[in-house]
Each structure stands twice: as structure tokens, then as C-alpha cells.
């Protein structure tokens, strides 16, 4: 709609003070809309990048580090029987938050039973890398949340701005209809221009916190 109004040639070739003012307001709103739309898309980009990073980390940590803890825990359960249950990786849900909670719990148990686990093959570097990987996972979660907030905030601003644009065009509608009341061709062109769909289309982030990565993210048990 707004771009169509700006392209309505008659208001450029035969302006009035009121129309000139309205046009200036409309152009300012469109410029602001482009800036906000840029922030909206940047939010989407951040969310997608964070989602990809979480998937990569989750696959790697589950298939290597957490699997190692499960097998060491099973071996150590011959000496400390309760370890057989403490080192079965069961995420509380298929969400990234459930994965993080379960993995952090296993790290805490590994620290508690560190001495006995070391006797049964615990790799200290594996445990350290797991901790570092979970820190990176936390950072990716925070990045995704920040990107989502940016996207949501920008989308709300665009909706409010679209309302302002509609109001400006409605004001212009009365001015144009009065100015070109004896020019059916110009009025028909105006009606066509002012009914074109708006310039801003909300962008949507992909991925969801509840979407599990493909492969190697569910329960891990020792064979």
C-alpha cells in the first residue's frame, strides 16, 4: 500500500501543502520501517545460527562425551552399585533445556564420584571438554534467546508502524479524492495504488527449542 501511494504520480505532479506534508510523513515511516525490518531479519539470522550451533554441540556431546560417562559409570557400578542408575543419560524432555539439565546433572555426578570413576577409565580431558561444551551450549541458548527478543521486538514495532502508515494513507485518501474529484482516471489510479498490500512482511525464525536434533540425542545407555 505505502509503496503504491508513493508511486502515485499525480500527487507528485500536482501536490498541495497538505499532501506534501503527508508524503513526507509517509516516506519517513517507510525509511524507519526498512531499518526495523533489517533488525527483524538480523534477529532471525541469530536464532537460526544459534539453533544450528546447539544441534552440532548436542550431537557431538551426546555421541562422545556423555556416552563415555555412561560406559565408565557402568564399569564403576561393580564397586559402587548406585552408579548404574546415576550414569544413564535420560533427558527429561526432547527439548534443548531438557538435554542441558540432564547433561549438567551427569557432570555433577561425575565430579562427586570422580575418584572411583578415574579408576575405571574416566578421561579427565573428556570431562573437562564436556563441561566446556556445555558452557558453549549455554552461550548458544542465550544467543538464540537474544535473537528471538530482537525479532519479536522488531515485529511489534513493524505492526505499530503499519498502523501509523494506514492512518496517514487514510488522511491522504480524503485529500486526493477532493483534489481529483473531477478526474476519474486519477481517482481510479489512486484507488489501485492505495489498496496494494503493505510493504512489511514479518520474517519468522526457524527452529524451536523443542525440536530434537537428528540422531544421537536421546537416551544413552551402556551396551
Residue 211, classed as helix, strand or coil, is: coil
Burial 153-167 (b: 16+ CB within 10 A, else e): ebbebbeebbeebee
8 sits in which H/E element:
none
Task: Give the angle 57-63-66 at the CA atoms, nearest 5°.
Answer: 85
Residue 145, classed as helix, strand or coil, is: helix
The dihedral over CA atoms of 151, 153, 157, 158, expressed in degrees to the nearest 10, equals 20
pLDDT in tens, 47-65: 999 999 999 999 999 999 9
pTM of the model: 0.76
**In whole angstroms, how far apart are CA 89 and each of 22, 99, 222?**
63, 9, 9
d(Cα 58, Cα 96) in Å, to the nearest integer?
Answer: 8
Please provide the DSSP assignment of 20-79 as one string: HHHHHHHHHHHHHHHHHHHHHHHHHHHHHHHHHHHHHHHHHIIIIIIHHHHHHHHHHTTT
d(Cα 47, Cα 140) in Å, to the nearest integer?
Answer: 9
Q: What residues does each domain of the chain span? A: 2-193
Q: Which of 95-99, 147-151, 216-220 has the lowest mean pLDDT?
A: 216-220
pLDDT in tens, 7-39: 665 565 666 788 888 888 988 998 999 999 999
Of the two residues 140 and 181, the one the predictor is more confident about is 140
Q: Judge whether 169 and 6 are in contact, CB under 8 Å.
A: no
Amino acid at each position: 500500500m505505502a509503496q503504491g501511494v508513493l508511486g502515485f504520480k499525480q500527487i507528485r505532479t500536482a501536490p498541495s501543502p497538505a499532501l506534501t506534508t503527508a508524503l513526507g510523513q509517509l516516506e519517513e515511516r517507510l525509511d524507519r520501517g526498512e531499518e526495523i525490518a533489517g533488525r527483524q531479519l538480523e534477529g532471525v539470522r541469530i536464532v537460526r545460527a544459534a539453533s544450528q550451533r546447539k544441534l552440532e554441540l548436542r550431537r557431538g556431546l551426546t555421541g562422545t562425551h556423555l556416552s563415555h560417562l555412561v560406559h565408565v559409570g557402568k564399569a564403576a557400578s561393580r564397586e559402587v552399585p548406585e552408579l548404574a542408575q546415576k550414569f544413564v543419560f535420560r533427558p527429561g524432555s526432547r527439548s534443548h533445556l531438557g538435554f542441558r539439565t540432564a547433561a549438567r546433572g551427569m557432570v555433577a555426578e561425575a565430579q562427586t564420584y570422580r575418584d572411583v570413576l578415574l579408576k575405571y577409565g574416566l578421561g579427565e580431558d573428556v570431562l573437562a571438554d564436556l563441561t566446556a561444551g556445555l558452557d558453549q551450549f549455554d552461550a548458544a541458548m542465550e544467543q538464540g534467546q537474544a535473537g528471538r527478543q530482537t525479532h519479536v521486538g522488531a515485529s511489534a514495532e513493524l505492526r505499530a508502524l503499519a498502523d501509523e502508515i494506514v492512518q496517514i494513507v487514510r488522511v491522504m485518501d480524503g485529500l486526493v479524492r477532493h483534489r481529483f474529484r473531477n478526474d476519474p482516471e486519477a481517482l481510479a489510479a489512486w484507488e489501485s495504488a492505495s489498496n496494494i498490500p503493505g510493504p512489511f512482511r514479518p520474517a519468522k525464525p526457524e527452529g524451536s527449542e523443542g525440536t530434537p536434533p537428528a540422531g544421537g540425542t536421546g537416551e544413552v545407555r551402556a551396551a
